[in-house]
Amino acid sequence: MKVGDNKSRPSAGAAASRAYGGAARTQGTGAATGAGAAQGGRVVSDSASIMGVPETELTPAVRSALMTLMGEVAELRRELDGMKSRLRDAELLADHDPLLPLLNRRAFVRELARVLSYSQRHKEPAGLVYVDLDGFKQLNDAHGHAAGDEALKHVAKVILSQVRESDFVGRLGGDEFGVIMMRADEEGAKHKALQIVQSIAGHPITVEGVKLELGASAGAVGLTGTEDPEAALKRADVAMYRVKRGGGT
């Protein structure tokens, strides 16, 4: 019997007698008689139960105890669901930058390790872009850290607008960003790096009525799959500084 069923039931002490193929059905687990025996001795049970306890044994005290227990089980399930939800939220916070809607460095390096492994196993190309803002310290000094935070949020939004759903974007440091590109060779990554730089330069930000021009430098490398994540980041970082010094990619 389902809890909350509105259908009337026989009293606990009454035996239910019903027609079943011309034979009487017997409550409990006794031997079949009469026409029931004529049908091959089939035994038909008509007992209902709550949590495995037969209804015939459900005294008011037992029924009350079972209902209390079932309520406690339901409450424990709600608490467990709540804990799972909070755990998912905590994992999300642990992987994301506290200021920007991007992966933090730890999570970014983890995803980079996965992409490197996938690239090596399946011989799939992948690319890594390293972006560094130009003159960010001067912006902070001239306009304050609040303006600097707004600039970082703006740049994060610009970068996200330039990548695919399959790409990973993270904040690697104060004003440094990384993009992992699946199924993109080095030339494709370099092209994306140029697009990101041009988009940042083409979208100035206004903070408290002051228009701030932003600039960035970006380097890109292809991922071989044979190096560790930190080595790949180092190569991309070197490529970025080569661009910043005017030496090209």
The DSSP letter of residue 55 is: G
Q: Which of 48, 47, 46, 26 is nearest to 37 (CA)?
A: 26
The answer on pLDDT for 38 being more than 70 is: no
Question: What is the structure's pLDDT at 225?
Answer: 83
Q: And the tokens for 46?
A: 């008509």
188-212 per-position pLDDT tens digit: 999 999 999 999 999 999 998 999 9
81-97 tens-digit pLDDT: 877 776 665 555 589 99
pLDDT band at residue 213 under the 50/70/90 scheme: very high
- Which residues are known catalytic residues? 175
Number of H helices and number of E strands within the chain?
7, 10
Q: Where are the beta strands (DSSP E) in 95-239?
A: 126-134, 168-171, 176-182, 205-207, 210-212, 215-222
Reported as a single tens digit per residue, the pLDDT across 4-30 is: 444 444 444 444 344 334 333 334 444
Q: Is the pLDDT of residue 180 over 90?
A: yes
Q: What are phi and psi of 223, to 5 degrees?
A: -100, 125
Identify any residues that bridge with 206 across adjacent strands, giving them in sequence order.
211
pTM, entire model: 0.66
